[in-house]
Amino acid sequence: GNSVTQMEGPVTLSEEAFLTINCTYTATGYPSLFWYVQYPGEGLQLLLKATKADDKGSNKGFEATYRKETTSFHLEKGSVQVSDSAVYFCALSAETNAGKSTFGDGTTLTVKP
């Protein structure tokens, strides 16, 4: 079946540090890949997405590239801010069951001033 493996957290960084959160997946075919962010006590917000190999999703300074050869979709940001502190989820949605999402375990990011 489909699965998503995320880098274990928690991750603690200083403001303006470089962020990488690793994400790899297992799926048949060509799934769509997503990163969601969840702030404390809130629901999910779509951060970025990519629907085919070599696509790069980007939003609010975050980027992730769909790498089919390594089945990865690592999240990066060049300079984090305190307001980026949240839980980040990597997820996929397979072609064969569109809309049904498989999530990674989530990575908690804390950015200190």
Partner 1 sequence: GAVVSQHPSRVICKSGTSVKIECRSLDFQATTMFWYRQFPKKSLMLMATSNEGSKATYEQGVEKDKFLINHASLTLSTLTVTSAHPEDSSFYICSARPHRQSWSTEAFFGQGTRLTVV
Q: Which residues contact 42 (CB under 8 A, 6 or more apart)?
A: none
Tell me how far, at minimum, the Cβ of 51 lies from partner 1, in Å: 7
**Cβ contact 107:6 at 8 Å:** yes
Quick one: which of 56, 101, 96, 97 has its CA closest to 76? 56
What string marks each residue from 56 to 85 as x (binds partner 1 by CB under 8 A) or -?
------------------------------
Cβ neighbour number for residue 105 with a 10 Å cutoff: 13
What string marks each residue from 83 to 112 as x (binds partner 1 by CB under 8 A) or -?
------x---xxx--xxxxxxxxx-x----
Task: Measure the CA–CA gap between 33 and 65, rounded to whole angstroms.
Answer: 9
What string marks each residue from 5 to 44 as x (binds partner 1 by CB under 8 A) or -?
--------------------------xx-x-x----xxxx
In the complex, the residues that contact partner 1 under the rule CB under 8 A are 31-32, 34, 36, 41-46, 49, 51, 89, 93-95, 98-106, 108
